Amino acid sequence: MSEVRQPDAISARYSHARPRSQAQFDRDRQVMPGGVKGAYYHTPYPLTMDRGDGCYVWDVDGHRYVDFANHHTAQVLGHNHPAVTEAMATQLRRGLALGAPMGNEVELAEAMCGRVKSPARVRFCNSGTEATLHAIRLARGFTGRPKIAKFEGGYHGSHDAVEISVAPSLDEAGPADAPHAVPQVRGIAPHAVDEVVILPYDDESSVERLVSAHRQELACILLDPKAGVLPQRADFMRFVEQTARRCEVPLILDEIVGFRVGTGGIQEQIGITPDLTTYGKIIGGGLPVGAFGGRAELMDLLDGTQAPTGFFQSGTYSGHPLVMAAGLATLSQLTPAAFRHMNELTEHLCDGIARQLLRLEVKGKAVHSGSVFSIYFTDTELTDYRSLSGCDKERPRLVFLALLERGYFLSHNLGMNSLSLPIQAEHVDGLIDAFGEAVGATL
């Protein structure tokens, strides 16, 4: 495979065509560390967007892109969907944050419990991060056990319990079949690392051994199915569920991305029944949201109406009526036919990307779950966190920039992209052609 030859030409063209984004970024950096939230930054500087409509977004320099990033997969209906904007306008007229629920919180909860078998009840919060934090706390309180098990490479948001071994350097990560717990960032409470048992993906015997060895101290197994990023074998995920049952450790399934793959999320697709599930992203219709739900025995610990249970979860803006209105309107559009449309087009897209890579003789692949997809430059079989380590890290950024030149907006490392409902076959075919050209431009 050829080495990347033209990084400067692609970056220079990007900068030349986007002076307003540059000026905005320079201003941002004066008062916000790094200018923007971490996930937006890429070199030479990130885009500033002006507006979005349907499957398109426009940057402040006037460039229009077909949006395949969809705000970290959350914008499942694209932008300005009339069902969402009308529901929000109606809610805006009724009022915001009136100090009591306004009735639409229960409608969204009913819609979610109606779609997925496992949760008998759900509780809303403001982000996926909060959802995993509260689900873990509930599991700890329910079992009275201190530790959690999570998978190496699994991402569950930004709080101390889960920002462990998200993307550890292989120098620190220990043996593949008994990974060390490595703090992801500085500042995490030192004891947090000791409270996490790290499991390897795609390795039944290690999961069995580690969970069995720690079963007396494990409050939960937290499973990120890595939907569309590092999709896991269905039989592996079923094995994790069985191991959790056998060892009597509650299973928390993180469906913050996975709820996008179909009406009942990943759990329905592969046939598992977690004790608790965490949600976020699409259930907020483009507004900040999180939720966790599960079996009544656990969730009812949060019901202090009859007698104090010792549990409590709240938040000033949790279950905000505007968010609930947008989320409910979004779910109402997500029929089985809508999922079929997005999922079939994504499969077609990944096949097209594979054909382009073959034609160009570039090692790489596109993986997907439902309508979430990622593109990697490697010929290694991608099964666990460590198998991702051999991927070319620089080419995705250049291909991302070269795709912008051709009118397509993906995530800047080409991981965790997605389709939205308004995207049609012509947009997907356009991306397949543009991808071939963009990769060609990096050779």
Ligand X SMILES: Cc1ncc(COP(=O)(O)O)c(C=O)c1O
Of 173-181, 230-238, 254-262, 334-342, the window that binds ligand X (rule: CB under 6 A) is 254-262
Asked if residue 366 lies in contact with residue 373, where contact means CB atoms within 8 angstroms, the answer is yes
What is the rounded CA–CA span in Å between residue 278 and residue 75? 18
DSSP one-letter string for 33-81: TTSS-GGG--SS----EEEEEBTEEEETTS-EEEESSTTTTT-TT-BS-
Q: Is position 277 an interface residue for ligand X (rule: CB under 6 A)?
A: no
Q: Which of 78, 157, 250, 319 binds ligand X (CB under 6 A)?
A: 157
| All residues at 6 or more sequence positions from 33 whose CB lies less than 8 Å from its CB, including other chains | none
Tokens read off for 366: 């596109």
Which is catalytic among the residues 254, 275, 384, 392? 254
Question: For ligand X, which is the closer residue by CB, 156 or 368?
Answer: 156
160 interacts with ligand X by CB under 6 A: no
Report, in Å, the least distance between residue 46 CB and ligand X.
17
Q: Which listed residue (163, 224, 241, 392) binds ligand X by CB under 6 A?
A: 224
Amino acid at 257: V
84 near ligand X, rule: CB under 6 A? no
Binding flag, residue 254, ligand X (CB under 6 A): yes
Give the nearest distance from C-beta 242 to ligand X in angstroms. Answer: 22
27: CB partners within 8 A, 6+ apart: none
Q: Per the residue annotation, which of 14, 155, 376, 385 is the catalytic one?
A: 155
Dihedral (Cα; 318, 74, 275, 228), 10-degree rounding: -160
Cβ closest to ligand X, residue 10 vs residue 135: 135
Contact indicator for 167, 154 with CB cutoff of 8 Å: no
Of 35, 52, 128, 327, which lies in the binding site for ligand X, with binding defined by CB under 6 A?
Answer: 128
Nearest distance from residue 411's CB to ligand X, in Å?
11
Q: Is 254 a catalytic residue?
A: yes
Residue 135 tokens, joined? 């689900």
Region near ligand X per CB under 6 A, out of 90-98, 123-131, 211-219, 384-392: 123-131
Specify whether 155 is catalytic.
Answer: yes
| CA–CA distance, 347 with 369 (Å, rounded to integer) | 9
List interacting residues with ligand X (CB under 6 A).
72, 127-129, 132, 155-157, 224, 254, 256-257, 280, 290
Q: Which positions are catalytic?
A: 155, 254, 281
